[in-house]
Structure 1
Amino acid sequence: MNKKLLQKNSYFSLEGRLIAIFSVAIMLAIATTALVFSQVAELWVASIISLLLSLLLGIALLRRFIRPINKIFDALLDSMQSFKDSDFSVSIASDRNDELGQLVDAHNEIRETLRRERLELNQKELLLDTVNQTTPIAMLLVNDKQHITYSNMSARKLLRQGKLLEGLDFSELINTSMPFLENALRQKADGLFSVDQQGEVETYHVSCRQFRLHGQPHDLYLIREMTREFSRQEVATWKKVIQVISHELNNSLAPISSLAHSGQLILDTNQTESLQQLFSTIEERATYLKQFIDGYTQFAKLPSPNIETVDLADYIQSIIDMTSAQTTSIPQNTEVRFDPAQIQQVLINLLKNASESGSPSDEITLEATLKANQLIIQVNDKGKGMSAEELHNGLLPFYSTKPTGSGLGLPLCREIIEAHDGRIQLNNRQGGGLNVCLVIPQ
């Protein structure tokens, strides 16, 4: 409830009131002096009496002037003390029209602003704490003395069966509850860690962020148990693999079985002249099946890159000579470092995709630049581009938009580029077509 401190009315500025008080005091002093001198014959006695009466009248007038001002200042001091205690419910009511009234109005405006901001802050803190307490990610805030200053419900369940963690020694707690993560947490590293617990593999993602809170260094640890999520993804991946392999095997083995049966019928009728075509078809399907299996083998057994120093202009020109792609300006006398065989495999695969996209051959370009210690290679075409779904899933294994595609071309490119600590990006071009951008640190 707001506290109202009522003040008396005033219609003059403080300066005007002071002038009025002094004017009244002077006039009263003159009148008093004249009255005293008319009644007292002796001059010195009349002077003393006049001085005393004038002083008393002046003090009375000054106290009448100062009393309401003191009340306002007392109210302001009480309000400031309330502010210090984070209580913004105290407001001051005043109908003064002078500078003090303006000061009171400014105080009330500040109080209302602080009250609203405090209310909003409390609501945000409540929302943030609710989010932190309900998130499945375990959160631990540790100060520079390795004492836990904050933990959420997930952290308590993971490390201490739901009991409070605040005030405990972080190192001792981790050593007791999760010794398999002790090294990762001590190194303050980010990454995935798998451990064998009672015959079951548990996977955790651990990250650490450092910042200053109230001028003191703190570490924020985030621990997420990801075993179930990884298991679901692994099952989904295996289902996809089995589905793709089964589809391709059936597409090849069913015709081969049918052709073998037809060959047996031909042998029974001694009409061997058509066997040559039959064997050629079987060979074609068997070759396709071998290439399909080899593609999976290559994806699964990708070797580490053999980094070499390469002249960029000569290397790009050699790729151009093997394809029908065009090129723009390539930096001359520029050396870069990567595995030339693996990057060649990536570029040929991307240029092959560009030529199969329906793009005119003269619109397929290969560009390379070196900027900020990063080699940027771009393959552009004017084909049909990709839909939003294709852009999102195009780099995932086993995803293909081609009827006979294995879904391993772009994922293999991604594996090679990421093995070089780089990244690959797919973007639709304005005016149609696709841009594939490779960024390789140097």
Structure 2
Amino acid sequence: MNEQEQDETIDQWRRRYAQLAALAGELAHEIKNPLSVIRMNMELLHEDFEEINLPLARRAVERIETVNRQCQRLDTYLKDFLEFTRFTSLELKAGSLNDQIEQVLDFFLRKAEEQGVKIDRHLDAALPSIKLDSQTLQQALTNLVKNALEAMPNGGQLLVRTRLVRNGVALDVIDTGCGMEANALLNMFKEFYTSKDGGTGLGLPTARKIIEAHSGRINVQSEVGTGTCFTVEFPTPARLPE
């Protein structure tokens, strides 16, 4: 197979992937509509049975609550799946990585305080601009910070740092949480893999997908009982790959 044939094959696979992703997204949307109707009616049934002080009614309430929990779980799966499949191209413009992570940290500030997590920000004020799509990049950064906070339910420290590196700029998200075992490190970026109760296993794969769409890369180091460090690197405009 010559180079032209290889390029044509790659293009064909890309088109096929885009078509499948679009179809999966449409299917997820179709599932969300009846699921919303089911949840609404179960909530109404819950209200009706709560007013009846009989053993049969109490058992019915328990079963309704079970259905509601499973509906919520499905809704979370669908939401994360749609985020994973929804973008096919990015509108990249010059922007500040510092501004992006500042907005995400501000969003999680109250949650961090409630958990007893201290956020330390060490952002290089001289950091050059990068090419970014604000909405999707913030989604990736949100997943990283959310993951770090979930690793510290009983408090800790979250260090967020930006810095210059040889090929562009880097962002470090470092937590003092539970850390990850070897199996989790090997599988953490695989779709639907999760070691958390109620997790969908799509947060980190989505983050990596977005970062790579920005011509970036993500690495992780972790030690059980010590914490985890995610490092994301982006090229600066002058160093963007052709």
Tell me, in whole angstroms, the C-alpha distance in 2 between the residues paired with 1:391 and 1:343: 23
Q: Which structure 2 residue ranges, 5 or more long, are not aligned?
A: 14-34, 110-118, 237-242
Q: Hey, what does 2:157 align to over in structure 1?
A: 363
Which ranges in structure 1 are unaligned for 5 or more consecutive residues?
A: 1-180, 196-202, 204-251
Aligned to 1:392: 186
> Are 1:301 and 2:95 an aligned pair?
no
Q: Larger relative CO (CA 8 A, sep 6+): 1 or 2?
A: 2
Task: Quote how far apart the aligned CAs of 1:377 are.
Answer: 0.9
CA contact (8 A) 2:156 2:177 kept: no
Secondary structure at the counterpart of residue 405 of structure 1 = coil
Aligned to 1:436: 230
C-alpha RMSD over aligned residues = 4.0
Q: What is the aligned partner in structure 2 of residue 353 from structure 1? A: 147
Q: In the TM superposition, what is the alpha-carbon distance from 1:426 to its structure 2 partner? A: 1.3
Map of 1:291 onto structure 2: 76
Does 2:4 correspond to 1:184? yes
C-alpha contact (below 8 Å) 2:191/2:201 kept by paired residues: yes
Cα offset for 1:192?
6.4
- How far off its partner does 1:194 sit? 8.7
Q: What do the CA deviations read for 1:301-360 (whole angstroms, capped 9, x no partner)?
A: 333222122234433332222223321142346322211211211111111111111276
Identify the residue that residue 226 of structure 1 maps to in structure 2.
none
How does the TM-score come out when normalised to structure 2?
0.65
Residue 137 of structure 2 is aligned to residue 317 of structure 1: no
2:18 maps to what in 1?
A: none
Q: Which string of whole-angstrom CA distances, capped at 9 and with x for unpartnered residues, describes residues 400-430 of structure 1?
A: 0012111111111111111112211111259
How far apart in 2 are the matches of 1:278 and 1:431? 37
1:382 is matched by which residue type in structure 2? T
2:137 corresponding residue in structure 1? 343
Q: Deviation per CA, 1:8-29: give whole Å up to 9, x if none.
A: xxxxxxxxxxxxxxxxxxxxxx
Maintained 8 Å contact 2:178/2:224: no
> How many Å apart are 1:182 and its aligned residue?
3.7
Aligned pair count? 196
Provide the secondary structure at the position in 2 that maps to 1:291: helix
Following superposition of structure 1 onto structure 2, how do residues 1-400 of structure 1 map, counting pairs within 5 Å? 181-184=1-4, 193=10, 271=52, 281=65, 285-324=70-109, 325-332=119-126, 334-358=128-152, 361=155, 363-400=157-194
Q: Distance in 1 between matches of 2:154 and 2:53?
A: 46
CA distance in 2, matches of 1:368, 1:317: 11
* Contact persistence 1:320–1:327 (CA under 8 A): no
The verdict on how the C-alpha distance between 1:355 and 1:334 changes in structure 2, with shifts beyond 3 A counting, is: same
CA distance in 2 between counterparts of 1:184 and 1:314 reads 41
Distance between the aligned counterparts of 2:145 and 2:49, measured in 1? 44
C-alpha distance in structure 2 between counterparts of 1:408 and 1:390, whole Å: 14
Runs (4+) off by over 4 Å: 189-195, 272-275, 277-280, 282-285, 359-362
Amino acid at match of 1:390: A
CA separation of 1:332 and 1:318: change in aligned 2, threshold 3 A: farther
| Cα pair distance change 1:403/1:359, threshold 3 Å | closer
User: TM-score, normalised to structure 1's length?
Assistant: 0.38
Task: Find the structure with the greater CA-based Rg.
Answer: 1
Shift of 1:283: 5.1
Aligned twin of 1:53: none
